[in-house]
């Protein structure tokens, strides 16, 4: 799977805002936030995988809503944008094409996980 470079990296502006919370890095805010996001995202990917074939659009919309802001806060902007799109499309409960949306969220999540792990292990 080939991805655009910006989809494999985190937004510098978002990372800078996190760094501002702990300018000298003594409290490890950035790594802790990234680790928390990594754990949370892995859990949400598992939840999305369990939704495949279930037709529960409002559940998927809820996961997308939760993930949207946390993804943006760590700079996973492609994931945040996709979450916003899925949330908007699925809020009313329409299930047609739902599995495609779930698969796209999983794919974007996996790219975000790669970017977060690269930051954590750099």
What global pTM score does this model have?
Answer: 0.90
Find out whether 57 and 95 touch, Cβ atoms under 8 Å. Answer: yes
Per-residue pLDDT in tens (0 to 9) along the chain, 122 residues: 445 555 668 999 999 999 999 999 999 999 999 999 999 999 999 999 999 999 999 999 999 999 999 999 999 999 999 999 999 999 988 899 999 999 999 999 999 999 999 999 98
40: containing domain = 5-120
Find the largest Cα–Cα distance for the chain: 49
CATH number of the domain residue 109 falls in: 1.20.120.160
Distance of CA 47 to the CA centre of its chain: 13
Question: How many independent structural domains does the chain possess?
Answer: 1
């Amino acid at each position: 799977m080939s991805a655009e470079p910006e989809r494999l990296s985190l937004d510098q502006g978002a990372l800078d805002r996190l760094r501002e919370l702990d300018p000298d890095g003594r409290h490890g805010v950035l790594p802790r936030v990234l680790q928390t996001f990594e754990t949370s995202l892995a859990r949400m990917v598992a939840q999305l995988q369990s939704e495949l074939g279930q037709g529960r659009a409002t559940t998927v919309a809820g996961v997308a809503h939760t993930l949207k802001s946390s993804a943006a806060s760590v700079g996973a902007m492609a994931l945040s944008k996709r979450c916003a799109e899925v949330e908007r499309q699925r809020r009313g409960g329409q299930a047609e094409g739902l599995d495609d949306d779930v698969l796209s969220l999983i794919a974007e999540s996996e790219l975000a996980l790669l970017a977060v792990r690269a930051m954590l292990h750099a």
